[in-house]
Amino acid sequence: MIDKTVRSMAEAMEGIKDGATVLVGGFGAVGQPNALIDGLIEQGAKDLVIAANNAGVGHVGLARLMELGRVRKIICSFPRSSDPVVFETLYRAGKIELEIVPQGTLAERMHAAGAGIPLFFTATGVGTKMALGKEVRDIDGRQYVGEKSLPGDVALVEAWEADRWGNLTYRESGRNFNPVMAMAAKLTIVQAQHLRDLGAIDPDHVHTPGIFVNRVLHVPYGDPTGF
């Protein structure tokens, strides 16, 4: 029997290594795998490269992971937040590397990694700092920048429903980066609000098929504001 559900956070986090590239889902507080981020804090891996849309808020979650000195580099589109003090302090002190990526390019670089496309061209960023050091070419009269895929060693994903095969659904704007991160990582770990029996999720409505998922932890944490 295929059973991707795990019983404990320790089991969910097993094997995440120092130096790993970790893709962290969520946009704002919605669809953010808060329990798994706390699990990663507990687990202890360091020298991490984090790819996420933001760079943490306050002193919890990603901000806490950074504050503990465990993040070598962050790849994101928008390091600002309502309270980005941890990131900004580390960044000004030269204690964390930053790679800024336009939000759509960030999403597509992970989608491409999941889809076996190592390089693609986009008009986003042409003529800006984002194109520095990258290949720019003319295709049918318009300029485009070459962007490389962004694969992860690990993805931390938040889902609404999951089953033991790892099929997932997301709720409303909680979908955001989660599906592309699930595709892009070697080890995809999911925290799910609801565990469903196999077959209970309509096969036409599965958002992330189980082929992209390795581990599922049931975390019925409530709504995104409850964290």
Partner 1 sequence: MSATATTAAKPYTRTEMAARVARDIPEGWYVNLGIGIPTAVADHVPMEREVVFHSENGVLGMGPAPAKDAIDPWLINAGKQYVTLRAGGSFCHHADSFAMIRGGHLDLCVLGAFQVAESGDIANWATSENDTAPAVGGAMDLAAGAKRLWVMMEHTTKDGTPKLVRRCSYPLTAVGAVKRVYTNLAVLDVTPRGFEVIDLAPGMDFDTVQARTEAKLFLTRQ
**Which residues bind to a copy of itself, rule: CB under 8 A?**
108, 112, 115-123, 139-140, 142, 144, 148, 169-172, 175, 202-205, 207
- Which of 13-21, 32-40, 61-69, 201-209 is the region at the interface with partner 1 (rule: CB under 8 A)? 201-209
- Which of 10-18, 39-47, 61-69, 158-166 is the region at the interface with partner 1 (rule: CB under 8 A)? 158-166
Q: Taking CB under 8 A as the rule, does residue 163 contact partner 1?
A: yes
State the minimum distance, in angstroms, from the CB of residue 42 to partner 1: 26
CA 146 to mean position of chain CA atoms: 22
Under 8 Å between Cβ of 151 and 21: yes
Read off the amino acid at residue 142: R
Q: Taking CB under 8 A as the rule, does residue 224 contact partner 1?
A: yes
State the minimum distance, in angstroms, from the CB of residue 148 to partner 1: 15
Residue 164 to residues 2, 16, 182, 183, Cα–Cα distance (Å): 7, 22, 16, 18
Q: Which does 179 bind (CB under 5 to 8 A by kind): partner 1, a copy of itself, none?
A: partner 1
CA distance 42 to 200: 33
The H or E element that residue 114 is part of is helix 103-114
- Which of 11-19, 40-48, 62-70, 77-85 is the region at the interface with partner 1 (rule: CB under 8 A)? 77-85
CA distance 34 to 61: 6
Structure tokens at 129: 């700092």
| Residue 109, Cβ density class (10 Å: 0-12 exposed, 13-18 middle, ≥19 buried) | buried
CA distance 168 to 48: 26
State the minimum distance, in angstroms, from the CB of residue 121 to a copy of itself: 5
CA distance 115 to 151: 10
Q: Which does 59 bind (CB under 5 to 8 A by kind): a copy of itself, partner 1, none?
A: none
- Which of 44-52, 61-69, 109-117, 133-141 is the region at the interface with partner 1 (rule: CB under 8 A)? 109-117
State the minimum distance, in angstroms, from the CB of residue 80 to a copy of itself: 26
